[in-house]
Every structure is written in C-alpha cells, then in structure tokens.
Structure 1
C-alpha cells in the first residue's frame, strides 16, 4: 500500500487532484467529509460536542450548527482545543478503518487540511 498525504490551501486544487487520482484507481480518504460524518445526528461525536458546548450548538432539526460552534471555538483557543480533542481522534479512527479496508496494493490518498501544520506528514509515504 502506498499512503499519500494530499494537502494544500483553499483553492489549491486538492479536489481536482483527488478526482483524477480516484479515476486512476486510488482510494480517497477525505478528512473533511469524515469530520462531518463523525458529528452527524445520533453519533457519539455529536453527543460529545453537545456535552462540551451545550445544546445551543444544535439547529432545530438536531444537526450541528457549524456557524454557531465556529463562533464559540474560533474566539477561544482553549475551546478550539476541546473541539479538536473530540473530533480529531474520531476522524483518525475512521480514516484508519477505511485505510485497513483498502487492498494491500492500493494507492490510498488522504486529503487532509493542515496536514503538515499538524505534524502528520510522517504518517505518509509521500506528501503532495
């Protein structure tokens, strides 16, 4: 298995590169998509976020109110650390499960925002 870390800023072309690699047989693990899944209604992730930040971070239909949560965590580095402490391990766990499910000879592309900034580059065989 070849593990590729794909990173870059907004508008850098990560989605296009991912699409092309998938067209050529790569397995894509999209950390942003997984981060949304792990806090979907009914998940332990959402329950943990609500326990940490209160019911006010939910919309009327029970989904995560991302703008509301953002206004809380991006104004306070300690609160952001709490959120990251909830979400990041769940994303890592799901990413590992998807990677383990891939074929032994697969090229697995991990689309990870802030990959290098978070010190994750050593986890991959190649970073693009």
Structure 2
C-alpha cells in the first residue's frame, strides 16, 4: 500500500507503477493465462466503488503488446503499462477519525488485486 499526502493530490493505492520489463511481462503473461481472475477483481462492486478500476497514470498502448494477440479477450488489460489502483483522499479524511478506517478498507479491498500481482511475479 502507498499513501501519498500532498494537499489536493493525496491518495492511497497499490500496484506496480512503471514496472521493469520483466515484471511487466510477468503481469501480462498472468493476464494472458488468467485474465478472468483480474477482471473479476476489478469488477467486484465494493472494489470498483472504492478504487474505480485500474489507474491511468500513462496512456495505454494503442494496440496489443508485442507477443500477445490483438484479439485477446483481455487485450484492454494487456495494453496497460502500469498496474495500479488508487483512490483520492480528501483533506477531511486525513484529519477525521475515519482515516484509519479508510486505510483499513483500502488494504482489505486491495488484497485480491495485490495477491494477483504477487502471484504473477512469483511464477
């Protein structure tokens, strides 16, 4: 988990931002093999309500990455360069007693996503 405190730019998130080539390939290989599991995680209603989905810190590739079928069922996920989820935090959330609740919820809801990425990089 990562918490960034910066006034209006505060957020909580996790995942791989600018992963190295090997890590990126491992994640894409996991999606190629079992993209349905990632889709299920990202489409889970509580997860989606909290994080919204994969973060777009950089523009995804315009087509499938080299070595992956452009008609792949999960090509939209394969095109990402970063695999992160995040949620903006308000100033009120930092000063309110609920801050630890928000952090706990982020940790709990992101566990399947983090586990998916961890498994992708341990194969």
TM-score computed with the length of structure 2 as normaliser: 0.30
Larger radius of gyration: 1
TM-score by length of 1: 0.29
